Amino acid sequence: MSLRLLAAALLATTAIAGPALAQSTQPTSASADTVRQVKKPVAAKPAAAPAAAAAPAQAAPADTAQAKRDPRALGGGLTSAPTDFGTVFAGGGQQATPGGVTRQDLGGGNMIAEEVPKTRSTVTRDAIDKLSPTANPYQMINMLPGANVTSPDAGGLNGGNITLRGFNSDQLGMTIEGAPVNDSGNYALYPQEYVDSENIQQVSIAQGAADLDSPHIGATGGVINLYMRDPSKERQVYTSFTYGSHNLARMFARVDSGQIGNFRGMISYSRYTRDHWSGVGGDNRWHLDGKFVWDVGEANHVRASLIYNEAKNNFYANPSLAQFNTAGYKPNYNAALTGNASTDTSWYGYRINPFRNLIASLPSDFKITDNLTYDVVPYLWYGFGSGGGVSTMTEDAGANTTATGRVYYGNTRLNNIDWSGNGVVTAGGKVNYYNPSITETWRPGIINKLTYDIGEHKFVLGYWFESASHKQTAPYQALAGDRTIQDAFMSNSDGFVIPNGTYAGQVLQRRDWTTRTTTNVIFAGDTWSLLGDQLKLEYGIKQAFVDRTLNNRIPGATPSVTTSNTATLPTAGISYKLNEQNQVFASIATSFRVTPNYALADQYNTNTGARSTLGTGSLAPERAVTGEIGHRYQGDLFATSLSLFGTRYSNRQVTSNIVDPTSPGSTTSFNFNAGSVESYGLDFEIGTRPLWGGFRPYASMELLQTRLNNNLQTTNTAGKTDYLPTVGKQLPRAPNFTGAIGLDYDDGHILGNLAYKYIGRQYSTFMNDESIPGFGRIDAGIGYRFADVALGETGKIKAPELKLNFYNLLDARQLTGVNSVQANAKDTTGVNGGTIKASGTPNYYQGEGFAVMVTFKSAF
C-alpha cells in the first residue's frame, strides 16, 4: 500500500510542478509551431526546445517538419503504409528525444489527424515511449476507441486478447511493415512475439474494415497496422534497462549505423524474463530486430526488416466465474509433482508454450515516371513451436498390466503397446506423456501495387500472392527420468514410434495434418479529387481467389479436404472538407474470412477412438458489410473524431455439438454456418495539443450494440437436433460501452501520464446466461529526462531518462476478459422443447494487481 501512496504522491507532484517549470521552456499552445500541419505554418519563430529534448533526432521524427509526414518516415515504404495516411501533429522544427518523443502529438500521442473516409485511430511514439518498454502492441492501443484489450500480465509477455466492435482477434488482420502476421491457418494473433516497443514508430487500427490493399483473408472485423521506425541518420547506440515487480528484468540495446552513402541500418537485441504474478512459473523471451534502408536516388527506396523472436512461457491458469468468486482463490497450477498421474497433468512445468518465429520483409517503392510509382512488399513469415501439456494414457487390464497398454491412433485401436522405458507407470495403471500441439508454418508472399497519378485521379492497381504451408502435429514424447519434459521444442523424431501392426514405424500422433493455402488477390481503385481537393471520392474493388487443401494423415479421417473460395469485395468512400477545420465522411466496405483450417479436419478421441470433431469443406466464407458516417474537427488547440457505424456479417462460423451423421446416437463437434450478426454504434475521440505548458488530455469512447439473428443449432438430451433460442442475444466479448481518459504531461524534463480505461459488462455465452461485470483500471507513469551529459571532447550521453510505470494503481482485483466462450452455461429449454445441457463452463482472464516498473534509458 505504501508504494501505491508514493506513486500517487509523485503524480501529484508532477501535476503541481509541471506548469511552473514549463513556463520558460515550452511555447504556449497557440504558438506557431503547433498549428495544424495541413496548414502552412505562420511566420513566427518557434521557442527553443529544452536541452534535454534537443538531442539529435531519429530518422523518422526528424522529418516531422514536413507539412505532412511521408509514410516512408514512419518505417517502411509507401507499401507498408495504409492506402491513405493521416497527418501526425508535430511542432515545426521540434526535435525529438532519443526515444522519438516530439512532445507535440495530439492527446499525448494517442491521436493523429486522419483524412481517410472511414474510422481509423493511431498511437504514435509520444504515447508508446511513455509506456513501459515491456508493452506489446495490444497494450499500446488500449486507449483507442472500442479497443477491448485484456492481458493476463502487466508485462505483456502472455499476449492476451483484443476485440473491436465485437469482432474477436482471430477476425482481425494485422500487418507489420505491410506483411501479414496472423496465423495462416486459424488467423490467431500473438502480440508478444512482434517488434520491441522501442522500434515501433506507430500502431493504427481501422475499426471497421481493411484497406483496399490490405493482405488478409481472415479479417471481417478490421485491421491493426504496425510500423517500425527507420534507422537513424546519425550513428548512435540506444539502451534501455527495466526492472520491476515479480523479478521483471529486461535489457534492450540498439545500434544505428548512421547515414553511410545511400545506406543506413539498425539492429537491436533484447532479453526479458519475469516470474508469474499468480502462482508458479515464469516467462523468458529473447528478441532481435533489424531494419536497413537504401535510398536509390531521390525517389527510389529499398527497405529490409527482420524480426526474430524466441520464447518459453508458462501458461497462466484462467479461472471460471465460480472459482474467481471463491474467497481467497488464486489461479494456479500445481507447484510440484505429486506422483498422481491425473493430478500431475496440472503441474506448471508441463503447461508451457515454447515458440520461435521469424518475420522478414522488403517493403520498397520505385518511381517509374513522374506519374507512375511501383510499390512492392516481398515477405516471409516462419514459425515453429509447441504448446499444450502432458496427457494420461490408461493401460489394459490384461495379463501384463505393468508393461502393455492401449491407445487409439485416429479410429484405430493399437494393442499391446509397450510402455516400458517410455514413461512412468503409476499404481493406477496410468502413464503420462508429453503431448504438445506442434505447429510449423512457412508463409511466403508478395504484394505489388502500381499507382498512376494524373491530377484529379490517383489510380491504383495491385496483385497479392501468397503460398502458405501449415503443418500441425501432436506426437507423444516420453518424460525424462525425473518426469520433466525432455525437449520443449520437440520434433517428430522425438516422438514414440508405433512398434507393430499396420502402422508400425510411424510416429504416434493425436493430430497430423498439413494445410496448404494459395491466395491470389487482384485489386483496383481510384481516388478522385474535386473542388481543389475539398471533395474526395474513393472507390475500388478487390477480387480474391483462395484455394485451401488439408491433408489429414490420422487413420479414419477424410484424407484430403479442399476448398476453393472466391470473393468480390467492393468499397467506396466520400469525404468533404467544410473548411480547414471540419471534415465529414461516409464509407461502405466489404470484407470476408475464409473458413479456418481446423474446421476442415476430422479428429478422434485417443482413449475411445470416437470421432470428436467432424471436418467439413462446405462452409461459405464469413462476409461483412460495414457502413460509416462521421465528422472530424482538426483545430489549432484540439481535434475530434466522431463516427456512427453499422455492420452486418453473415455466414458466421460457430463450433457446436451436433448429432454425428455417421454414428447415430453419438454427438461430435462441428463447425457450421450460424447465420448473421448485426452490430452498430458510435466511436468518439478527442485530443489536445500541449496546454498550460505541457499537458495533453485525451479521451475516447464507444457505444456498441450487437444482435444475433439466428438460433444456434445443437443437440438436446434426447440426442435430437435442437436449437438454443439465441435470436436477439448479444455477442460474447462485446461490451456495450468502453471509455478511456488520459492525461499526458511533458515539459522536456518532467514527464508523466495518467490513464483510466473502463470496459462494460461482457457476456461469455451465446445465450447471455453468464457474464462478467464492467471494470476500470488506472495506470500511470512519471519520469525525468536529464540534459545531455558530456563524455570527453567528442561524445555525450543524450538525454538520459529515468521513469516509473505503475500498472493497476489501485490494485483492483478483476476479471478482464473472456478466454473461452460457450454456447450456454446453464441448462436451457431448446426451441424444439428439449433440454439442452450446458455446453461447458466459460473461463476468463484475471488481470494482474498492482505492479511497478522502473526504466533507465539513454543514447550515446
Tens of pLDDT, residue by residue over 260-305, are 999 999 999 999 999 999 889 999 999 999 999 999 887 899 999 9
CATH class, 236-800+811-854 region: mainly beta
- Taking CA atoms, 498 is separated from 266, 422, 513, 570, 682, in Å, by 50, 12, 18, 53, 58
Q: Which of 138, 257, 129 minimizes the C-alpha distance to 190?
A: 138
- Is residue 542 scored above 70 in pLDDT? yes
Backbone angles phi, psi at 761, to 5 degrees: -60, 140
Tens of pLDDT, residue by residue over 470-490, are 999 998 888 887 888 888 888
- Is residue 654 scored above 50 in pLDDT? yes
- Is residue 308 scored above 60 in pLDDT? yes
DSSP bridge pairs for 271: 251, 286
Residue with grid cell 509551431, as numbered in its chain: 33
Are 739 and 701 in contact by the 8 Å Cβ rule? The answer is: yes
Look up residue 815 and give its three cell numbers: 476479471
pTM greater than 0.75 (yes/no): yes
Specify the DSSP class assigned to residue 137. H
Which one is predicted more confidently, 854 or 413?
854
Tens of pLDDT, residue by residue over 10-52, are 344 333 333 332 323 222 222 222 222 333 333 333 333 333 3
Residue 428: band (very low, low, confident or very high) from pLDDT cuts 50, 70, 90: low
Q: What angle do CA 725, 729, 732 make, to 5 degrees?
A: 115
Flag the least confident range among 102-106, 168-172, 412-416.
412-416
One-letter amino acid of 534: Q
> Residue 57: exposed, middle, or buried by beta-carbon count in 10 A (0-12, 13-18, 19+)?
buried
How many C-beta atoms lie closer than 10 Å to residue 33's C-beta? Answer: 19
Are 836 and 777 in contact by the 8 Å Cβ rule? The answer is: no
Q: Which of 171, 62, 58 minimizes the C-alpha distance to 594?
A: 171
Are 170 and 224 in contact by the 8 Å Cβ rule? The answer is: no
Are 821 and 765 in contact by the 8 Å Cβ rule? The answer is: yes
What pLDDT score does 405 carry? 60
Tens of pLDDT, residue by residue over 805-854, are 999 999 999 999 999 999 999 999 999 999 999 998 999 999 999 999 99
3-state secondary structure 71-114: HHHHCCCHHHCCCCCCECCCCCCCCCCCCCCCCCCHHHCCCCEC
Helix, strand or coil for residue 354?
strand
- Is residue 684 scored above 50 in pLDDT? yes
Residue with grid cell 509520444, as numbered in its chain: 126
Flag the least confident range among 59-63, 340-344, 363-367, 576-580.
59-63
Per DSSP, helices labelled H in 623-756 are none
**Taking residues 414-424, what's their average pLDDT?**
59
Q: Whole-number mean pLDDT of the chain?
A: 84
What pLDDT score does 414 carry? 81
- Taking CA atoms, 312 is separated from 273, 385, 436, in Å, by 10, 9, 14
- DSSP, residue by residue, 749-806: SEEEEEEEEEE--EE-BTT---EE--EEEEEEEEEEEPPPEEETTTEEEEEEEEEEEE
One-letter amino acid of 662: T
Flag the least confident range among 314-318, 637-641, 759-763.
314-318
Q: Which of 775, 767, 860, 859 minimizes the C-alpha distance to 817?
A: 775
Tens of pLDDT, residue by residue over 72-84, are 233 333 333 444 4
Look up residue 545 and give its three cell numbers: 481467389
Are 480 and 350 in contact by the 8 Å Cβ rule? The answer is: no
Residue 70: band (very low, low, confident or very high) from pLDDT cuts 50, 70, 90: very low
Cβ-proximal residues to 568 (8 Å cutoff; 6+ apart), any chain: 541, 542, 543, 544
Flag the least confident range among 338-352, 707-721, 744-758.
338-352
- Is residue 91 scored above 90 in pLDDT? no
What pLDDT score does 293 carry? 96
- DSSP, residue by residue, 375-439: EEEEEEEEEEEEE--EEEEE--SSS-TTTEEEEEETTEEEEEEE-TTTS-B-TTSEEEEE--EEE
What pLDDT score does 39 carry? 32
Cβ-proximal residues to 679 (8 Å cutoff; 6+ apart), any chain: 165, 166, 646, 647, 704, 705, 706, 707, 731, 734
- Is residue 66 scored above 90 in pLDDT? no
Are 55 and 859 in contact by the 8 Å Cβ rule? The answer is: yes
- Is residue 669 scored above 90 in pLDDT? no
Look up residue 200 and give its three cell numbers: 515501433
**Taking residues 651-678, what's their average pLDDT?**
78
What pLDDT score does 63 carry? 29
What pLDDT score does 420 carry? 52
What pLDDT score does 272 carry? 96
- Is residue 593 scored above 90 in pLDDT? yes
Round to whole Å and give the CA distance between 754 and 778.
Answer: 7
Say how far residue 611 (Cα) sits from the centre of its chain. Answer: 33
Tens of pLDDT, residue by residue over 220-234, are 999 999 999 999 999
- Is residue 713 scored above 80 in pLDDT? yes
What pLDDT score does 395 carry? 60
What pLDDT score does 673 carry? 86
Percent of the chain with pLDDT over 90: 65
**Taking residues 728-749, what's their average pLDDT?**
95
